[in-house]
Every structure is written in C-alpha cells, then in structure tokens.
Amino acid sequence: TWRKHQTSGFKDKDGFEREVVRHVETTLARSLYNCDEAAAYSATALAFRDRLILEWNRTQQRQTFVDSKRVYYLSLEFLMGRALDNAMLNVGQKELAKVGLSELGFRIEDVIQQEHDAALGNGGLGRLAACFLDSLASLNYPAWGYGLRYRYGIFKQEIIDGYQVEVPDYWLDFNPWEFPRHDVTVDIQFYGSVEKKTNDAGRTVCHWEGGETVKAVAYDMPIPGHATPTTNNLRLWSSKAASGEFDFQKFNSGDYESSVADQQRAETISAVLYPNDNLDRGKELRLKQQYFWVAASLYDIVRRFKKTKRPWNEFPEQVAIQLNDTHPTLAIVELQRILVDLEGLEWDEAWNIVVNTFGYTNHTVLPEALEKWSVPLVQHLLPRHLQIIYDINLFFLQKVERKFPGDVQLLRDVSIIEESQPKMVRMAYLAIVGSHKVNGVAELHSELIQATIFKDFVRIFGPDKFTNVTNGITPRRWLHQANPRLSELIASKTGGYGFLKDLTQLNQLELHVNDKQFRKEWAEIKYANKVRLAKHITATTGITVNPTALFDVQVKRIHEYKRQQMNIFGAIHRYLTLKAMSPEERQKQLPRVSIFGGKAAPGYWMAKQIIHLINSVGAVINNDKDIGDLLKVVFVEDYNVSKAEMIIPASDISEHISTAGTEASGTSNMKFVLNGGLIIGTCDGANIEITREIDEPNIFLFGHLSEEVEPLRHAHRYGAASPLDPDLARVFEEIEKGTFGNPQDFAGMISAVRDHGDYYLVSDDFSSYIATHDAVDEAYRDQEGWITKCITSVSRMGFFSSDRCINEYAEGIWNVEPLKVGEHA
C-alpha cells in the first residue's frame, strides 16, 4: 500500500521541480528570476500540499465508507511547529525535494527555515496533542483533532536588557496548510435565558432563547501519517459575526463604526491563545472560547453521526471524544443538552450515552491549575448549561448518598459545585463524573491523582474508572526530523527505518555498543549538532561557546515548580567555586555551557525575575576573564518547537528538576534521551519510568522523593526545617552584594526560599543537586563511558513512542481499531 501511495507523490525530481516552478509563476504570480527563499518555501509547500490533499480526500472517503468508530481529540492547544519538513518526510520525498531545490538554486535547510511555526499552544499539553495527531495518522486510526484557530499563537519572546518582552505572534499571513471551509459553519449562542415549555407530547422541555449569536467557521489542516496514505484532519474554528448580528440598522443610519465594532467583538473569541500554562484565571473570554469551540465541534460530530441514520444508543459505538485536560469539559454538558433538549431523549438514556462517549485526561496536580468557573459567570453566559450542571450534580450526589449514607462531609467534598463565595463549578469533578475513563499522564502522576485530589472519586466509582497512560513523543519529528544524521546512523545498524514505526527496534543498537566505528560516528554527530547550536548562540547573543564543553540544557516554560531558579543558583555556585580556585586548579576543571530557554507567562512576576537573573548572571560570568570557557551562561530567546528541534539534539545533559510530585510527566525528558543526551532529574513524572527503562547508571537522579515533600513543607511552616543550605546561603550573599546587578531585582526569589517557606524545596534539594552535577562532570570526563551510557539509553527508549501511547488509549479508553488501508481506496 505504501508503494501505491507513491503514485500520488511526485514521480521524480523533475516532476517536483515542474510543480514548484508552476506555483512560483502562477499561484504566486512571480517570475523565476526574482524567486527568493521565501517564495521557494511557498511554492514547495504548495507543491507538497497538492499531494497531501489527494490522500486527505481519499482518507476521509475511506473512513466514511467503512463507517467505523472515530476518535475526536478536543484540545485548546495544538503546538504543531513547522509542517513542510514533516510533510516531506512523512510522504517519503524529502530526498527528491532536496535535489530538486538544489537544482533550482536553493538549500533545502534554508527553505525549510522560512516557515513560521504554528504555535497554537503553551508547552507540554499542546505539543502532546500534536504528537498524538502524528501517531493517530501514522497508525491509521480514523481520528480528528478539534481546536481553535487563534489569530495570535503564543507570543514571541524578545529579551531586552535581560528582561522578557512579549511580541504578538501573527502567523496567518501566508499559511498554505489551512483550508477555509466557508460552507462549514455553526451558529453559537451565548447569554439569553431559559424558558420552560410543554411540547405536543405533554413533556416539559427547556428552550434556551435570546442572547447573541456568533458564527464558527471551520478551517481544516491535513495531518499526514508517516509512510501511509492516511491523512487525517485537524479542524480549527474561527469566530465571525453571525450574519443576522451584523447590525444593518446601525450601518444604514450611519453608525458604521459601531457596527464594525460588533463584528470585531465576535472575532475576538478566537483572537488569542491564553499564554498561561498551569494556571487558571477565570476570565470570561476564556470561558467563551471554551464554549464556542466545544459547541461547534459537537455540532459537527453530531451532524456526522446523524448522517449514518443510526439510533442514538449507538453514538458511543461510533464516537470517542477525548478531553485534553478540563478545558473542553463543557462538551459533556453540551452533549447532554443536545440529546435532552434538542433530540428529546430521556435524561438517563442521554446521560448513559454521554458518559460512554467521553474520556478525560488530567495533566496536573497543582491546585492553582485546577479549573473553576464562578456560578454567576456560567449562569450569565450559559444559563441552560448551568441548570444541566446542577442536575448532573444532583443525580451524582444522590448516587453518592445511596452508596455512603449520611456522609455529609463527603457530599460537600465531591460536589461539582463548591459552596464558596461566589459558588464555583469544579471542572475536573464535572469531567470525572461525565467520563467513563480518567487518566493521568505518567505512573507516579496517575497514582498521585488517585491518592490525593481525586481520592473520593476512586471510592465512589471504584478503581477501574481511573488509569494511567504514560505520555510519549513522535520519533518522526523528535528523532528523524530533528536529528537526521543520528536517524540515519541508527537505520544503518537496525536494518532500515523500521524503528520510526516500531520504536522498540532501537534495542538492536545495544548489540553495537562496542563497535568502534559506530561509536565514533555517534560522537561526531553529537559534536556536529553542538556546533550548529553554538553558531546559533553566537549569531543571536554574541556569546561564543566552545562546542567541546559540556552542554547543560534546561528548556521549558519558566515556572517555580520546574525550578529554573535552582539551576541558576547552581551556576552561581559553580562560578564562585571556580573563582576561589588557583589558576592551576582551575585549568583542570571541565568547561561547561549552561543553556536556558523558555517563556514566562506575561503576568507571572516571579518567572520573569528568574529570566532576568539568568541573563544578569550570564552578563557577569561570560565576561569574566578568569573564567573564560570554563563556564558560560546562555539564555536562548523565544524557545519554540523549531528551536527545540535544534537544541535537543545538541545537549549532553538536560535538566528535569521539578520538585518531586509536581511535574505530571514531562515529555522533553524523553526527547533528550532519544537524541543521545543524558539527563539529570528528580524522581518525578516520567523521569521515573525513563529510569526503569534505561537503568539507574544511565541517569543522574537527585533530591527528595514525592512522599517526603509534604513533611518537609510542613516543617518549613512550623519552623522545624533544616537551616538554609550553606552553599545556597553563599549564593544569596553574592546576589545581595550586587555582583549580578541591583539585588532589589532578585529579592523576591531569595525571600521565597529563605523567608516564605521554600515551597518548592530549593534549599532542601540544593546539596544533592550540586553533588549530582559533580557526578555529571566526573562521568563526562570518561568520554568512552559516557558514549556507552548514551547509546545504551537510546536503545532502551522504545517505550516512549507516542505510537505506544496512542495504542493504549485506543485499546483501553476509546475501543477503536486502526483502519486497514489500501482496501477501499
């Protein structure tokens, strides 16, 4: 079937070149003589897009014809990154394009770099959704993603005078990967009121009336699978003023401005991605986004189901909907509303369908990230939905009361409505009650949610409703695309590129771990990747870094729980240690480059302080003649998916150092190890499972365990904690002396640790952290031993493919099977 697929690709390089030229001259209306790299990118993207469209249409026809169950992945974030390289590799025609482009006078790398990232996400949760789409298509699952078409993705980060400055990310100027479907629209209602009416059958029905209407317009993006014709669909909704709403009265009476303002207000709904990750701030516009997207998606899904003419009770046999965190939880309420109010089903019958349709994935235990919406706000925006939520809660609490009679405290604790001032809707509880499966994203995380925030629900529903699906990453993007030379070397030792579709085949590498030539090539590739990153660092920051130094990387969203502050305190400690040495002693030290990257939420003051401290420390250390190459501190601006593809393959050691029990999974940890980097980490999230797979000697673990965290916090609160770590005290002293600029700028960071209970246990873990970094130096000095660790680790990473992960969802939660391709084409 793959060979057959080739028929819809380019026949040869000449065929590809003809298409590029045609697009330059016609679609872009340019002459070949003034075709720059940007135009070459556009034409190449359009040429590949044409190929994808054919398979995309066939895939949709095939899936409709077979009429099998479909998966719908609802996510407010899809952090896709660039699409061209991915498309070329997935259809297996990058080599041909490379030759074709070079004959036209372009380097394929430069052409690829022209593309703007599709950055419709914050971090891990959004990137996970993108990896899942890749796996779903690559494994031939009939699946759709549903999201919002933000006009502005996550902001671009600039560093000015050491501070983060946010710049809007307008990414839609030229986007060949999206297809507007102006014929696929849904009118979405907000506000208004509920009227009770009696229908012809004498039954009371609720009518949601009045309010305002906004139109949702579908934009589709093709998602090509790797080495398969399956090309799935990502449908993103864009908001527009509904035709009836455009106020022609005003328009005609000359109040043109305010009629345009109405239009703009409608378009605001899909205007911007909220840039907070792991923090809930109850903004009305965010709730509007959620309902707008959920209602449009459900309308679409229900419309598709109705075409099959099946009875409603077969809905869960045709449809599986996965909720990526609580952001789409209103879908539960909306489906119940559709079935009861619009389709006339009895409550219980409808509810049964709802629960069997939905699955809910939790991505956090942090209390500040658990979504809640105020009852008055929901009442105002979605009056009928609030009633349904109250009814869902009533029936649920009745069930609890029957099972645990008289336990009033339990009823209060598990109620979907929190009896606070104002009352709040607890979205996670609603998601649990309305789903048939709830999963965490790594083993420790899944255990923790069952033992802490959701423990009452485990008692009520039994343990089978709760499960774990450990996250994974797509090896296509995170190995083959990001690190083509390593991928090629691996292919040469494992009998081809089969590992890209069955990552467990990596285990064959272990047979070659002592192969001298192989080890040499392995080391050369890592070095070349470091040289590439070093060049980028010099070009963007002016700092020269030595590519033979140990590259120590921490790139992820800036958050106190991820403890970038501990990393930079550690760098200061290293600096002070080096400064205190004699020149002779100093010469014996191992050179190191400490690389940071990541965005702070614009309103997260402490995270912004951390960025400022990193840059201030770099400014001092990088210019200290005593230190030279021994230590550099670099902050890479605007960390995003494309930067990750360059940075991750260049790492020797990366840091995954969250306070134990706070990072649900982490997924970059998997990416780094897969690219032949080792990691230093706490016993948290997926680090634990990575350790189990690759074995203790290949990972640098440190710090307190998750079960020790509460007692330590308790000790801090009651003045029973150990005194501040002396090395850390010395670091604070140096900051307070003004060595790194105005100490006032960093006072908050210091006092959080020293005076306010050290919630993230930076002091408690500091000595263990420093000692482990010394162990990293020791290990790195033994280059042969280091390479052995790297190769061994990569060979044992098969478990962390998102293909494994998607197969677990398919079997354990969705009950769907891959569609055999090639039979109905």
Residues near ligand 26Q, by CB under 6 A = 122-125, 128, 274, 276-278, 280-281, 286, 363-364, 369, 371, 441, 471, 663-667, 685
- Which residue, 134 or 371, is less far from ligand 26Q as judged by CB? 371
Q: Is 681 in a helix, a strand, or coil?
A: strand
Name the residue with the smallest CB distance to ligand 26Q.
124
Which three-class secondary structure state does DSSP give residue 767?
helix
Which of 70, 445, 562, 574 is catalytic? The answer is 562
The DSSP bridge partners found for residue 373 are 425
E-strand ranges in 296-347 read: 319-324
Q: How far is the CB of 679 from ligand 26Q (least distance, A)?
A: 14
Q: 259 or 278, CB closer to ligand 26Q?
A: 278
Give the residue with the Cβ less far from ligand 26Q, 186 or 709: 709
Token pair in block for residue 47: 């040429």
**Smaller CB distance to ligand 26Q: residue 228 or 554?**
554
667 is catalytic: yes
Minimum CB separation of residue 388 from ligand 26Q in Å reads 21
HEC letters along 457-514: HHHHHCHHHEEECCCCECHHHHHHHCCHHHHHHHHHHHCCHHHHCCHHHHHHHHHHCC
Q: How far is it, in rounded angstroms, from Cα 110 to Cα 39?
A: 12
The one catalytic residue among 70, 530, 556, 796: 556
DSSP string, 400-458: HHHHSTT-HHHHHHH-SEE-SSS-EEEHHHHHHHT-SEEEESSHHHHHHHHHTTTHHHH
CB of 653 to ligand 26Q, least distance (A): 20
Check if 756 is active-site.
no
Residue 434 sits at φ, ψ, to 5 deg, of: -95, 10
* Host H or E run for residue 224: strand 212-224
Which strand (E) or helix (H) includes residue 317?
helix 315-318
What is the smallest separation between the CB atom of 530 and ligand 26Q, expressed in angstroms? 26
Q: What distance in Å separates the CA atoms of residue 825 and residue 228, rounded to the nearest whole number?
A: 12
Judged by CB, which is closer to ligand 26Q: 286, or 485? 286
Among residues 329, 474, 662, 667, which one is catalytic?
667
Nearest residue (CB) to ligand 26Q, 472 versus 547: 472
- Asked whether 224 and 195 are in contact (CB, 8 A), the reply is no
Distance CA 317, CA 814 (A): 9
Q: Hey, what amino acid is at 180?
A: P
Q: How far is the CB of 371 from ligand 26Q (least distance, A)?
A: 5
Q: How far is the CB of 393 from ligand 26Q (least distance, A)?
A: 21
Taking the least distance from each CB to ligand 26Q, the nearer of 231 and 554 is 554
Beta-bridged to residue 350, according to DSSP, are: none
Min. distance of Cβ 328 from ligand 26Q in angstroms? 11
Nearer to ligand 26Q, 123 or 547 (CB): 123
Rounded to a whole number of angstroms, the minimum distance from the CB of residue 123 to ligand 26Q is 5
Q: Which one, 149 or 363, has the nearer CB to ligand 26Q?
A: 363
Q: Which helix (H) or strand (E) holds 215?
A: strand 212-224
Closest CA to 187 of 78, 311, 296, 94: 296
As measured in angstroms, the least distance from the Cβ of 468 to ligand 26Q is: 12
- What secondary structure letter does DSSP report for 725? P
Q: Which is nearer to ligand 26Q, 126 or 618 (CB)?
A: 126
Q: Minimum distance from CB of 807 to ligand 26Q (Å)?
A: 17
Q: Is there a catalytic annotation at residue 557?
A: yes
Q: First vs last Cα of the chain: how many Å apart?
A: 10
Tokens of 786: 């280091």
CA-wise closest residue to 337 among 295, 290, 293: 295
Q: Which is nearer to ligand 26Q, 471 or 706 (CB)?
A: 471
Among residues 69, 82, 226, 363, which one is catalytic?
363
Smallest separation, CB 666 to ligand 26Q (Å): 5
Extended beta strands in 127-211, E state: 143-148, 156-160, 163-167, 179-190, 193-198, 204-209
Long-range contacts of 373-377 (CB under 8 A, 24+ apart): 373/282, 373/287, 373/424, 373/425, 373/427, 374/282, 374/422, 374/423, 374/424, 374/425, 375/417, 375/422, 375/423, 375/424, 375/425, 376/422, 376/423, 377/282, 377/284, 377/287
Q: Is 526 considered catalytic here?
A: no
Amino acid at 176: P
SS3 annotation, 544-612:
CCCCCCEEEEEECCCCHHHCHHHHHHHHHHHHHHHHCCCHHHHHCCCCEEEEEECCCCCCCHHHHHHHH
Rounded to the nearest 5 percent, the helix, strand and coil shares of the chain are 55, 15, 30
Task: Considering the complex, state which of residue 743 and residue 812 has its C-beta at the smaller distance from ligand 26Q.
Answer: 812
Cα distance between residue 135 and residue 672, in whole Å: 19
149 is catalytic: no
Is 671 an annotated catalytic residue? yes
Least spacing, CB of residue 46 vs ligand 26Q, in Å: 33
Q: Which of these is catalytic: 465, 671, 713, 789?
A: 671
Angle (CA) 619-624-625 rounded to 5° is: 150
Cβ proximity to ligand 26Q, 274 vs 293, nearer residue: 274
> Who's near 257: CB < 8 A, 6+ residues apart?
none
Shortest distance (Å) from residue 182 CB to ligand 26Q = 30
- Residue pair 203/162 in contact (Cβ under 8 Å)? The answer is no
Read off the tokens for 813.
Answer: 């939660």
Residue numbers annotated as active site:
363, 556-557, 562, 667, 671
